């Protein structure tokens, strides 16, 4: 594969990634005084994604090329071989599984010190076969498989960004054509937008607290902006808000993590197992993770009058998990009392009216519309709830000017 040609994939721990660029093979060489008449260049061949065994095979082939061209300049032939024949020579196929050589092999150094470097484009491969020994000129210059994996991905991402910056793209929001340096794309879907439009879009979402909705503006596209992309576009204050809200949203999704209720603390606290108690490591406050008040053991959580009024509706609208949580928090007895109170208020609202003088609830179960409050003895009209004269209360119903005439 030449530069920019996508490899089919790289696998690591069962994961497979499609990449376009791989770290180069590096040929370090030194020309001896009798080159090229008698001696070949002293060299080392290093790479990150080829194993020491594969690099050894390449080193031996370079030696064979020298023997075939002894007495002639050889560097061009070596470079052409490494650039154009490496894949075929090592029988490379895709997908390619990254492998890491032994610690001893990867840290060997060449006998000749390098004086010049040639960087040659590399690509994906597969193992050709195991050699009996590893040439000390072959160096896999990575520390571990995990670091190798990350370096390959980082190298690919950096070079993809360089290629992206050199081209022009239409923004899918403002429809202006701009250079890649003025644009940004979402990593999963590759949809491109200019930085000005994305900046405005991110700022609006963050100000509204929608930090989990920084997804691609393309309709029905599930791609989400990375924190690094958000930090690159928005101001420091807005990014701090985004970071804080994102952390809080993540903590809210964790069932055993709560926030210390003290306004001066607000640290995340891991709930004690088999209880609803949290002990803040910052301020040592022991609190109930349900009501966020001081820990009260197995006693039901204390409930405010305002919350008691909201409890029946909240309980009726909750699903089974929500009802179980409310029962655990306040106790079934409190919930039953709140439900009965709600039923009583609903019945009173439907079947009674308030006295216009003292507010006592009055039920009308017969007779005319002239009512007498049993609490303050005030006469009033059941229809319009106006007070009536004690001397002639029925005049209200016989006066043609009255709203309740007849």
The residue among 152, 122, 94, 97 whose CA lies nearest residue 2 is 122
Eight-class DSSP state of 234: S
| Distant-in-sequence, close-in-space partners of 307: CB < 8 Å, separation ≥ 6 | none
Annotated active-site residue 183? The verdict is no
**How far is it, in rounded angstroms, from Cα 201 to Cα 233?**
10
CB 53 within 8 A of CB 134: yes
Distance of CA 63 to the CA centre of its chain: 51
The residue among 137, 60, 150 whose CA lies nearest residue 100 is 150
φ and ψ at 287, to 5 degrees? -140, 160
The residue among 154, 97, 148, 85 whose CA lies nearest residue 122 is 85
Say how many CA atoms lie within 13 Å of 260 toward its Cβ: 16
Residue 131: count of CB within 10 angstroms of its CB? 14
Of the residues 119, 368, 376, 384, only one is catalytic, namely 368
CB 51 within 8 A of CB 101: yes
Q: Is 383 helix (H, G, I), strand (E, B) or coil?
A: coil
The string of DSSP codes covering 44-84 is EEEESSS-HHHHHHHHHHHHHHHHHTTTS--HHHHHHHHHH
Active site residues: 368
């Amino acid at each position: 594969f030449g530069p920019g040609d996508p490899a089919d994939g790289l696998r690591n721990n069962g994961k497979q990634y499609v990449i376009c660029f791989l770290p180069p093979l590096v040929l370090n060489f030194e020309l001896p005084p009798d080159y090229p008449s008698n001696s070949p260049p002293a060299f080392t061949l290093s790479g990150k994604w080829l194993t020491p065994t594969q690099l050894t095979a390449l080193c031996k082939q370079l030696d064979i090329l020298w023997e075939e061209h002894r007495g002639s300049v050889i560097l061009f032939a070596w470079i052409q071989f490494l650039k154009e024949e490496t894949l075929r020579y090592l029988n490379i196929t895709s997908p390619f599984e990254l492998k890491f050589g032994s610690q001893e092999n990867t840290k060997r150094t060449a006998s000749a010190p390098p004086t010049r470097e040639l960087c040659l484009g590399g690509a994906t491969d597969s193992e050709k076969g195991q050699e009996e020994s590893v040439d000390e000129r072959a160096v896999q210059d990575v520390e571990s498989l995990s670091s190798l994996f990350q370096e390959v991905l980082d190298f690919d991402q950096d070079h993809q960004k360089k290629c992206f910056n050199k081209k022009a793209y239409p923004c899918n929001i403002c429809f202006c054509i701009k250079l890649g340096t003025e644009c940004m794309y979402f990593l999963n879907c590759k949809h491109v937008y200019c930085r000005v439009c994305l900046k405005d879009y991110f700022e609006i979402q963050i100000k509204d607290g929608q930090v989990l909705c920084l997804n691609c503006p393309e309709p029905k596209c599930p791609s989400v902006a990375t924190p690094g992309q958000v930090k690159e576009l928005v101001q420091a204050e807005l990014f701090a808000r985004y970071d804080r809200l994102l952390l809080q949203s993540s903590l809210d999704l964790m069932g055993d993590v709560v926030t210390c209720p003290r306004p001066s603390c607000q640290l995340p606290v891991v709930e004690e197992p088999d209880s609803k108690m949290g002990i803040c490591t910052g301020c040592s406050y022991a609190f109930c993770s349900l009501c966020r008040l001081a820990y009260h053991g197995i006693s039901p959580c204390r409930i405010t009058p305002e919350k008691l009024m909201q409890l029946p509706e909240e309980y009726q609208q909750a699903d089974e998990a929500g009802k179980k949580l409310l029962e655990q928090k306040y106790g079934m007895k409190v919930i039953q009392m709140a439900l009965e109170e709600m039923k009583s208020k609903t019945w009173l609202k439907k079947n009674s009216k308030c006295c216009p003088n003292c507010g006592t609830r009055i039920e009308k179960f017969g007779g005319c519309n002239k009512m007498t409050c049993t609490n303050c003895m005030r006469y009033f009209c059941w229809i319009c709830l106006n007070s009536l004269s004690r001397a002639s209360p029925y005049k209200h119903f016989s006066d043609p000017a009255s709203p309740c005439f007849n």
